[in-house]
Amino acid sequence: MSEISLDLRDRRASFRGLEDRIFDLLVIGAGITGTGVARDAALRGLSVALVDANDFGSGTSSRSSKLIHGGLRYLAQGEVAVVREAATERRVLRRIAPHLTLTNPMVMPAQSKAGITSMRAAMWTFEKLAKVDKPERHEVWDRKRLQKEEPTIKADGLAGAVVYPEYVTDDGRLVLANAVSAVQAGARVATYAPVTEIILENGRVSGAVVQSSLPGDENGARIRARLVINAAGPWVDHLRLLEDDQAKNKLQLTKGIHLVFNHDRLPISRTVVMRTSDRRGAFIVPHGRFIYTGTTDTFYPEPEYWPEITREDVDYLLEPVNRTFNIEPITHDDIVSIWSGIRPLLGQEGKKPSEISRRDEAFDGPGGLISIAGGKLTSYRSMAERLVDSCEKKLGEKHVPSKTAEQKLPGGDFPGSFDELQTRVEKLGFEPEEARRVAQLYGGQVLDIFAGAKGPAVEAAYAVLHEGALTLEDYWVRRSARARFDDEGGLAALEPAAGAMADLLGWTEQETIRQIESCREKREFEMRAIKK
Ligand code: FAD
């Protein structure tokens, strides 16, 4: 049917495939960092194994703000290198995955003419660093123009705004596209395969042991590799302890949450930057029928897939929304869904969460385990390229240049513009908003997938047969994004999707009910902080 094909149903074959050779690289963790590294290395011809304790992107990488952005605010912190890399990478991602980098203008309101002048100075530096083309450069709106373009913004006391383009992605699908591409280039993968042991021979790391975490599945593998990369995001320090039980923590974890509302409650056309009560920047992003706002930044003690969301987190984000816009106040009752994620930042003593650098770093453990942490979704590709360059050297392999800046990601190849793709999808009988949703998620694959029928059952079957989904949550949260951007968190999609998956994955009726219940419980957990 399509170039994408990642069918992970045969668990025995997946685990066996991890044992039949000594790999050049074993990558632990299939978030954006791990899948980016696996793809880069596999495309250069290295043999690669990639494993994850859960699903692709189930850690931080499906819980970000979904912005492919240059990180203008980091300029004020003197992080020129971080900004240069992120700003430049936006352009690369737009080329290799146009469906996952949709233009998303940012409106930064300013209270005074002096405020506009200083924002413009920052913008000029940013545009120079990022080599931004003329049509993509910033504009300045006076108050009148701001009122005309975004009439819901309270314009009293504002001098105007600076507006510039950034991009919005679907982070879970960006990870998946990298995983699929890695497999197409020859990488072996297993999900729901946590590393339980790092193998050391004569004090040197030579592989890892994985054990299936799916109920009733006894599969496991002893994977051998010349280099082992720890890309476990917030769990990086946990993996380091498996190599060296004396290893000191390197990471400082911070949590960020996002709230989703219906777009008609706050009909903005562009992302708007707001000031929080403690003078941080927050934003509100239009996303089809919905809008979302984020994010918080607070220390969090331990990595978790479902970090706790508190009422303070929710109220902290509602306050600037209701202060910035001229609307009937948004309350807890308006919240459609919530998500929270953990940033795996490199620790910096004495700094506030939002002041900690977003730079990435790779470091070797005493037995040679290579850990990589920090960074941003936006710069994952160049971070992977740098890491694989250094792995080639360690392996003594001839340098093969990275191909990831040129080779399109799965779904990224389609004729014409994204808007034209959306129009073609509409001709299949989709409403414009729904056409946009599926065109963004599936890119160039979309017309094949929905040629016959549409809806959750079709999407879920495709997720199993071509996108490596093994649980209902894999489909609901990370393949379809319905958990975030659908009415009532996509609860109505669970039954038809589970029905389609049950046939393909051989679930009993009891197992099908368990899968549905597990998703419902997760939603209840996320919505617990809301007063009803
Ligand atoms: P993860 O995605 O967490 O991947 C690590 C993987 O390791 C997980 O899948 C986990 O299951 C696996 N793992 C853990 N233990 C084991 C084990 N024992 N065995 C095997 N596998 C294991 N960046 C941007 O560029 N733009 C943004 O808008 C943005 N917004 C953000 C907003 C928030 C709230 C947060 C938290 C982050 C944001 N970021 C953003 C940063 C970005 O999301 C992260 O830098 C990035 O996702 C980290 O990816 P990762 O692959 O390193 O970690």
Going from the Cα of 356 to the center of ligand 1, the distance in angstroms, rounded, reads 16
pLDDT tens digit string along 121-169?
989 988 988 888 888 899 999 999 999 999 999 999 999 999 999 999 9
Q: DSSP secondary-structure letter at 408?
A: P
* pLDDT tens by residue, 355-376: 888 888 999 999 999 999 998 9
> Ligand 1 centre and the CA of 62: distance in Å?
7
The minimum-distance atom of ligand 1 relative to the CA of 239 is: 18
Cα(231) to ligand 1 centroid in Å equals 9
Provide the pairing of β-strand 139-142 with 360-364.
Answer: unpaired
532 band by pLDDT with thresholds 50, 70 and 90 = low
Integer Cα distance of 322 and 334 in angstroms: 12
Ligand 1 centroid to 302 CA: how many Å? 14
Query: Which pLDDT score is estimated for 3?
Result: 56
Pick from 37, 40, 65 the residue to mutate for probing ligand 1's pocket: most ligand atoms within 8 Å of its CB: 65
Residues recorded for the chain: 532
Q: What is the pLDDT of residues 98-133, one digit of tens each?
A: 999 999 899 999 999 999 999 999 899 889 888 888
CA atoms within 13 A on the CB side of 70: 28
Tell me the CA–centroid distance for residue 65 and ligand 1, in Å: 12
Q: Look at ligand 1, atom 39, and give the residue with the nearest C-alpha.
A: 64
Give the residues surrounding ligand 1 with Cβ less than 6 Å away.
28-34, 51-54, 58-61, 63-67, 69, 194-195, 231-235, 239, 256, 295, 341-344, 375-378
With the most atoms of ligand 1 within 8 angstroms of its CB, the residue from 63, 74, 235 to mutate is: 235
Q: Is the pLDDT of residue 228 over 50?
A: yes
Average pLDDT of the residues in 202-206:
97
Q: What is the mean pLDDT of residues 378-397?
A: 97
Tell the residue nearest (CA) to atom 41 of ligand 1. Answer: 376
Beta strands in 297-456 (DSSP E): 298-299, 337-346, 360-364, 370-374
Ligand 1 atom nearest the C-alpha of 35 is 51
Residues contacting residue 130 through CB under 8 Å, at least 6 positions apart: 70, 83, 84, 87, 88, 90, 91
pLDDT the model gives residue 531: 67
The 10s digit of each residue's pLDDT in 303-312 is 999 999 999 9
Atom of ligand 1 nearest to the CA of 195: 19
What is the per-residue pLDDT for 135? 85
Residue bearing the CA closest to ligand 1, atom 31 = 64
Q: Which residue has the CA at smallest separation from atom 16 of ligand 1?
A: 53
Predicted confidence at residue 81, as pLDDT, reads: 84
- pLDDT digit string (tens) for 13-65? 999 999 999 999 999 999 999 999 999 999 999 999 999 999 999 999 999 99
Q: Give the residue whose CA is nearest to atom 53 of ligand 1.
A: 233
Q: How far, in Å, from the CA of 219 to the mean position of ligand 1?
A: 26
Report how far ligand 1's centroid is from the alpha carbon of 1 (Å): 31
pLDDT tens by residue, 459-506: 999 999 999 999 999 999 999 999 999 999 999 999 999 999 999 999
Q: Is the pLDDT of residue 1 over 70?
A: no
**Ligand 1 atom closest to the CA of 256, numbered from 1:** 34
Closest ligand 1 atom number to CA of residue 86 = 25
| Angstrom distances, CA of residue 274 to CA of 2, 129, 263, 351 | 42, 25, 17, 23
Evaluate whether 475 touches 460 at the Cβ level (below 8 Å): yes
Checking if the pLDDT of 433 tops 70, the result is: yes
Pairwise CA distance, residues 339 & 32, whole Å: 18
Read off the pLDDT of residues 499-529 as tens digits, 9 standing for 90 and up. 999 999 999 999 999 999 999 999 999 999 8
Local structure of 199: helix, strand or coil: strand
User: Distance, CA 218 to ligand 1 centroid (Å)?
Assistant: 27
383 C-alpha vs ligand 1 centroid, how far in Å? Answer: 14
Which residue(s) pair with 164 in the sheet? 106
pLDDT at 18: 98
Mean pLDDT of 181-188: 98
Q: Find out whether 198 and 210 touch, Cβ atoms under 8 Å.
A: no
Give the closest residue (by CA) to ligand 1 atom 35: 64
Cα 295 to ligand 1 centroid, rounded to whole Å: 15
Distance 131 CA to ligand 1 centre (A): 28
Nearest protein CA to atom 38 of ligand 1, as residue: 64
Encoding tokens for residue 85? Answer: 């890399």
Residue 340 CB-density burial (10 A; 0-12 exposed, 13-18 middle, 19+ buried): buried
On whether the CB atoms of residues 187 and 25 are closer than 8 A, the answer is: no
Position 239 scores a pLDDT of 98
As a whole number of angstroms, the distance between CA 24 and CA 44 comes to 12
Q: In angstroms, what is the span from residue 234 Cα to ligand 1's centroid?
A: 7
Which DSSP symbol is given to 479? I
Q: What separation in Å is there between the alpha carbon of 84 and the centre of ligand 1?
A: 21
Closest C-alpha to 65, from 136, 171, 148: 171
CA–centroid distance, residue 60 to ligand 1 (Å):
3
Are 295 and 66 a contacting pair, CB within 8 Å?
Answer: no
Whether residue 387 contacts residue 397, with contact meaning beta carbons closer than 8 Å, is answered with: no
Choice from 82, 376, 470 to test ligand 1 binding pocket (greatest atom count within 8 A of CB): 376
Ligand 1 centre and the CA of 57: distance in Å? 7
Q: What pLDDT is recorded for position 426?
A: 97
Write the residue with the smallest CA distance to atom 8 of ligand 1: 59
**So what's the pLDDT on residue 76?**
74
Better-predicted residue by pLDDT, 83 or 173: 173
Atom of ligand 1 nearest to the CA of 297: 34
pLDDT at residue 15 in the model:
98
Name the residue of 15, 40, 64 whose CB sits within 8 Å of the most ligand 1 atoms, as the mutation to test its pocket: 64
Ligand 1 center to 49 CA (angstroms)? 19
| Ligand 1 atom nearest residue 377's Cα | 25
